[in-house]
Amino acid sequence: MAFKDMREYLSVLEEDGQLKQVDAPINCEYESNELQSLMRHLHETDGPGVVLNNLQGYNTPGIPVLYNPFGTRERTAMILGERDPLAAKLKHADILADQAKWQAPVVVDGTDAPCKQVVIEEADISLDKQLPHTWIGQEGSSYICGAIVVTKDPETGARNVGWYRLTQLWECRHPTGGSYTDRQQKQQLSIFAFWNPPMNHIGIHLAKAKAMGKPLEVAVAKLCDPAVHLAACTGTPFGSDEFAFAGGLRGSPVELVKCDTVDLEVPATAEWVIEGVFQPDADDVTIGWHSNSVGYYDKLQIFPVFDVKRITHRKDPLWYATIEMMPPFDHNYLGLMPVEGEVLSDLQRKIPEVKDVVVTPNMTYIVQLTVDGAQKPHPEFGKFVLHAVWGAAGRWGRTAKIVVVVGPDIDPYDLQAVEFAIGTRVQPYEDSIMNRSGQAMILDPSAAKGPQGFPMTGSQLGIDATVKIPERFSDYAPVSQADPAAVAAIAEKLKDVLG
């Protein structure tokens, strides 16, 4: 199904009991905040998404904050009209692989666009008053999350739509004891654009613009139709239009409106739009601490800033906040589906025996096959699949630090089952591959950092946890395990006794 905006998706969650309104006071101040503790509690209890209506120490008390809307695989699958994670993933992978199923966006009249209901002109911009600020954990800044970022290639004009975090510099704690100017705090934002060297698509655009001595226009749209967010965090080929991919995912074109101060288009139903310009001679800024998706604080990072030219938003807007921390956490699952879909899409085009790709919250890749043992198409088939993951198209497969290949009887979502396969079907030396020349996941704190402060190369481990027929055996001991249907039957029979 296609949601017209984030509000429609949230309405479905609320009707399903998966979104709750919270009126109790919750602190969001620097260092004394309760939001990281709330995130951990929600994930320890498989809790719902929440709307926080009574934040304390909050600069915009009239604007409620959405928290944890994507906190389960089921809620992420619901973005695509499914509840089963594999069904949603297969739909994502199928559309990603076939651009004939993409639907180009349409530009509509912006006069009545919801995202333009309230306009703040450049002369009136003061980000300390007009953008909400929430501090989470020990982070030194209030970060803008849940926003898609639009830029155009300064050479080709091709659009990129990515899901990048932004740093608000107002009352930001400088990680090395420095300070930020009043202009930086109230008229500028920093963005996670890895441009020197380029490590993401917006970084490529910015590096080109700086080399050409040209400004780069940017538009930030916060809280759009969730299919747009799903598309924006998928590693589509450089130069392709993520809005068109989003149209394929949602089954209808994304409606865009033109921005007012920059030559870019944004989703008409976004909650917020921030228009700005990167100047070619602008200095980067140092930020930190930042809590990252692998569960550690980045103490110091260096990123570019842009000048904010205009802010528009809906009447009675909704804000979104989250923290990346030791997994799992809220948008962990929204981020994992594109990773899984990207790798699954590539593998299934080449290897029909691949059934599923599951990436754990801690970024271990598990590939489930439809065959095992004597049914494998050739010896060392598991290792063949391992190499295929590292050689997969897109940006994620090549950074897979740990990859495990299992057979069809192993549930890839059940880490106990995966551990069983490793413990009983693997000889560590013979059945693993150590790749010493891999590309590191950019946030891996265990890999050596380059001059820009983040790792670029690292080693990788692949584990072939399939049954080793015909590699070492012609026969293998049968697994002793109860039939799932029989387990369900006995549970039903004894439910009044066992509860």
Which tens digit of pLDDT belongs to each residue from 164-188? 999 999 999 999 999 999 999 999 9
Q: How far apart are CA 273 and CA 147, in angstroms?
A: 9
pLDDT for 395 equals 84
Q: How far apart are CA 380 and CA 33, in angstroms?
A: 52
User: In the chain, which residues have pLDDT < 50?
Assistant: none
HSE-CB for 199 with a 13 A CA cutoff: 21
Which tens digit of pLDDT belongs to each residue from 226-243? 999 999 999 888 999 999
Other beta carbons less than 10 A from residue 137's beta carbon? 18
pLDDT for 452 equals 66
Nearest in space to 90 (alpha carbons), one of 358, 411, 385, 356: 356
Where do the domains of the chain lie?
88-320, 351-473
Q: DSSP E strands: which ranges in 179-304? A: 188-191, 216-222, 255-258, 265-267, 272-278, 285-287, 290-291, 297-298, 301-303
pLDDT for 14 equals 98
| Cβ-contact 67, 41 below 8 angstroms | no
Whether the domain at 88-320 and the domain at 351-473 fall into the same CATH topology: no
pLDDT for 1 equals 63
Tell me if the domain spanning 88-320 has CATH number 2.30.110.10: yes
**Assigned fold of 351-473:** UbiD C-terminal domain-like (3.40.1670)
Which tens digit of pLDDT belongs to each residue from 51-99? 999 999 999 999 999 999 999 999 999 999 999 999 999 999 999 999 9
| Alpha carbon 135 to chain centroid, angstroms | 20
pLDDT for 442 equals 85
Q: How far apart are CA 43 and CA 457, in angstroms?
A: 32
